[in-house]
Homo-oligomer: A and B are copies of this chain.
Amino acid sequence: MTMAPTHAGTRTATLAVSTVIFALSPNDKGALALTIPLVRRIRAPFDGMWALPGGPLASHEDLDAAAARNLAETTGLEPKYLEQLYAFGNVDRSVGQLQTERVVSIVYWALVGSKEARQVVEDDNVHWFSADALPDLAFDHNIIVNYALNRLRNKIEYARIAHGFLGETFTLAQLREVYEAVLGRALDPGNFRRTVEASGEIVATGKRLMGTKHRPPQLYRYQRDLPTPFSSEKQENISE
């Protein structure tokens, strides 16, 4: 901080905001898988390569708002969860490219509902990729996506993140599916039920989902309440 408004002439870096957007979509064999929308670059450097959606920060725009805006511009969607990931700004971010001005990117990560994500139109310049089969991306964007994946996987275990992938109500099996897709491993249905019920973060609605070919499951919703997303937080950032 300690701003230096007086000698604002020395420009040292451009500021941009980018977002890693996650959605869950059924893959070829019906299981849910993490997907990420990318945009094709249409100028140097890295012209033609896939990159994270992003852009410069508008004059009177908060950082979060900028992330939400370029999410809307790329996908037409509103995020159901949005959080700052990290600021990437090392001078060698676009190594190997003819030198342009250094860009500091403040990167966010976001979740969008599976249902909503299905409506997004893809074209030649916007495409959804499976999170574990990404092409080579522009800049350091592969590193950034991995970083975001780690954060998502780590955080789903202790925060009410999964909500971002679901609708208002959902069955425990659907919730478990989300966890399994994100974590990449199967979870014991019985234990999962008890754990998540004991957490107090979800409540039964009393309604049931009918029309399945088995016993109709209870519908739940997330407890609406508390957490002011800022202040009194608890975060981390390990290296290990």
Contact = CB atoms under 8 A, between A and B. Distances in A.
A2 B15 contact: no
A53 to B, nearest CB: 7
Contacts of A191: none
Given A89-B106, A91-B60, A91-B62, A2 B39 contact: yes
Contacts of A6: 43
A238 B231 contact: no
**Interface size bucket, A side?**
35 or more
Nearest to A158: B238
A222 to B, nearest CB: 13
Contacts of A62: 89-91
Contact of A57 (B13, B151, B227): B13
Nearest to A228: B239
Given A12-B56, A15-B104, A231-B143, A83 B3 contact: no
A5 to B, nearest CB: 5
- The dominant DSSP class at the A interface is loop
Contact of A236 (B13, B102, B236): B236
A113 interface: no
Given A60-B91, A101-B8, A2 B237 contact: no
Interface string A6-25: 10101111111010000000
Interface of A: 1-6, 8, 10-16, 18, 39, 41, 43, 45, 51-64, 83-84, 86-91, 100-107, 138-139, 141, 143, 146-147, 150-151, 154-155, 158-159, 226-240
